[in-house]
Amino acid sequence: MSLTASIASLLRADHGDPFALLGLHEEAGHLVVRIFQPGARAIVVKEIGGMREWPAERVDDAGFFIAKLNGAKEHIRYALRCTGHDGSNWEIRDPYSFPVMLGELDQHLFTEGQHWELWHRLGAHCEEHDGVAGTVFRVWAPNARRVSVVGDWNGWDGRVHVMRKIFPIGIWEIFLPDVREGAHYKFELLGGDGHLHVKSDPFAFFSQHGTATASLVWKLDKFTWDDAQWMEKRRTTEWHREAVSIYEVHPGSWRRKDGIGLLTWRELADTLLDYVVEMGYTHVELMGVAEYPFDGSWGYQVCGYFAPTSRHGNPDEFRDFVNRAHQRGIGVLLDWVPGHFPKDAHGLARFDGTALFEHADPRQGEHQDWGTLIFNYGRNEVRNFLIANALFWLAEYHVDGLRVDAVASMLYLDYSREHGEWVPNAFGGRENLDALHFLKRCNEVCYERHPGAMTIAEESTAWPGVSRPTFLGGLGFGFKWNMGWMHDTLNYMALDPVYRRYHHGQATFSLVYAFHEHFILVLSHDEVVHGKGSLINKMPGDEWQQFANLRLLYAWMWAHPGKKLLFMGGEIAQRDEWNYDRSIDWHLLEYGYHSGVQRLVRDLNQLYKNEPSLFDMDDTWEGFEWIDLHDADNSVLAFLRRARHGTAIVFVINATPCVRHGYRLGVPGGGLWREVLNTDSETYGGSNIGNFGGGHAEPVPWMNRSHSLTITLPPLGVVAFKQAP
């Protein structure tokens, strides 16, 4: 291409190799510097470390200059002294004077799909090169014809800072001197489809949200962590043998300032963490942390996978939240969404004018239910993007685990599709082999590089071994949500108590498979939206019975094998469905029934954490034993939970409003059995029917036990007894 044609191509913004045109070149036996500066009316090339200067000739009114370096016979270091149309002056280093900076090893690992610290290379990074401070920008767009960085320093003009394409990996790169932290930017791409696309940086560490979607240059090396004690303890913790009680929170609607304004991360650290500690939870799980444009998606349609949402503050303020949580002994889990992404124009969709992150075939690449796109897990670079993202949150933000959203939709090619709407795998089956490979590899790498962290699958099918190690044929997750328990139990609890005797199996069925996986019992946000009603409104009966049933549900949940998760608002028996756009109804705590439920959840957490029998063997039959599961006529269940060292707690559930006096219960030993839980206590809003603190077991064999207690079962209540020393 001739020089004239190259200049014309640059000015049309379709020149794909600007480093071949701009910067220092040899021309007709002379060194020349070619410059494009639309804002300048005059430019002088200045030798760095020398006295020589060369004026540049303006060869095009659009701002193209050429300086002949007369007398210069070697490669020189130079700067540009510019004079603007308004008479202003500035001096810059020429971005087109710097060489390729991405190393060969980085290129190889990325192509291979195993660059586990990819965020250190792609995106925007404040660096110093040749004594000059600036920002290096890199983006993966292999099918783009031209890529530029546009921002508030260059008038968002895509002609000014066109990037260099690194072949064959398709990463574009440029170092821009004097672009500093806080600069707003995007990538402007002339796509493989011939159209112009303006995209946010997929690796941006900080972004705008809503209608303003620019990425921001941000340094990740400024924050000082003070959680070394927590991190060291976490590294050696076996969470399967520990109490895990999770408070699921949507930060934008947990509590609001004056009912309207969102709390910042610092304000949430001051208030939410106090509450989590007071309530006795071990972990907080946050929805909607990664940047997303649409509030109504609750954070499940992510555009900024590496950026904490700016709704609540900057990245270091979110780090401060995690830091302070760890200092108070609280783990932080994030919802992570590798299953799909939205079609927003500034996001990942058709990023370089082609189906880059997604499948091109809509039968593979589109979620019809959600109107979103599916990642192409068969592509090395896409798998690398996602696995690096998981590692990013664990490494840079010290988060303690990732709850992986919508795993079921990733496992099956025919998920929510009719015949003919999906493409079978290479063997003719419905399993998504590429997604399986991705999930297994992701879990392996997360646990290898971050011992003590946890990955949690939201998975609702009967896929075997979700939470088993990959070397045993599993998917490698640490835990799996127990959706079966949730559905069966809520259906059972919604029944009028008079009919529960006919559905006794719904209450006991979960124990058939309770130890097939490492389960977390969940009453999540999904159960209190989209017309499903709040938990309290699912309960039958009058007001007193509704609250008694809810207390029974919570006690059954905390007594049942498996870790625990409760969505915010459930602990205060909120009447309304959850609304992402307003605070939960804290005013309800002025009423006794609601505050009673809150006290019960707090006390259940304390009992749970203080009694190893409730957690240290909850993934094996050795930690659970039925005492009586056959009393369907009375809708009564009795069982015990056992610890490794032998202590046990006996639970009895009465799922009817009938008080049962003189109920004989078999127990595994004599002596005093203290009543350690009674959901009918008046402090919880109950009728205070109980056992006066406990009872003495008699040597009367019952229910295949050597001893038995004669107790009173409160209405719609749960009582628990522990043998005194």
Q: Which residues share a beta bridge with 717?
A: 654
Half-sphere exposure of residue 662: CA atoms within 13 angstroms, side-chain side: 0
Total residue count of the chain as it appears in this document: 725
Return the amino acid letter for 716: L
Angle, helices 315-327/228-235, rounded to nearest 10 degrees: 70
Half-sphere exposure of residue 134: CA atoms within 13 angstroms, side-chain side: 17
Q: Which two tokens stand for residue 625?
A: 């034993």
Burial of 28 (0-12, 13-18, 19+ CB in 10 A): exposed
Catalytic residues: 405, 458
φ and ψ of 25, to 5 deg: -145, 160
Q: Which two tokens stand for residue 703?
A: 């229910």
Please name which of 189, 159, 212, 163 lies closest in space to residue 344, comparing C-alpha atoms: 212
Q: Which residues share a beta bridge with 228?
A: none
Residue 155 contacts by C-beta under 8 Å, 6 or more apart in sequence? 38, 39
Return the amino acid letter for 459: E
Return the amino acid letter for 70: N
Return the amino acid letter for 687: S
Cα 130 to Cα 79, 221, 247, 724, distances in angstroms? 12, 21, 50, 74
Burial of 539 (0-12, 13-18, 19+ CB in 10 A): buried
Q: Which residues share a beta bridge with 173?
A: 138, 164
CB-based contact 650:720 (threshold 8 Å): yes
CA dist., res. 549 & res. 571, Å (int):
14
CB-based contact 157:39 (threshold 8 Å): no
- Burial string for 90-126 (b: 16+ CB within 10 Å, else e) reads eebbbbbbbeebbeeebbebbbebbbbebbebbbbbb
CA dist., res. 128 & res. 227, Å (int):
30
* Number of neighbours of residue 670 by Cβ within 10 angstroms: 14
3-state secondary structure 145-167: CEEEEEECCCCCCCCCCECEEEC
Q: Which two tokens stand for residue 579?
A: 């609304």
Burial of 432 (0-12, 13-18, 19+ CB in 10 A): buried
> What's the CA dihedral at 458, 464, 535, 721 to 10 degrees?
-120
Please name which of 543, 557, 548, 573 lies closest in space to residue 659, comparing C-alpha atoms: 548
CA dist., res. 212 & res. 111, Å (int):
33
DSSP 578: P
Cα 191 to Cα 143, 353, 355, 360, 619, distances in angstroms? 7, 4, 11, 15, 52
Residue 444 contacts by C-beta under 8 Å, 6 or more apart in sequence? 470, 476
Return the amino acid letter for 584: I
CA dist., res. 91 & res. 78, Å (int):
11
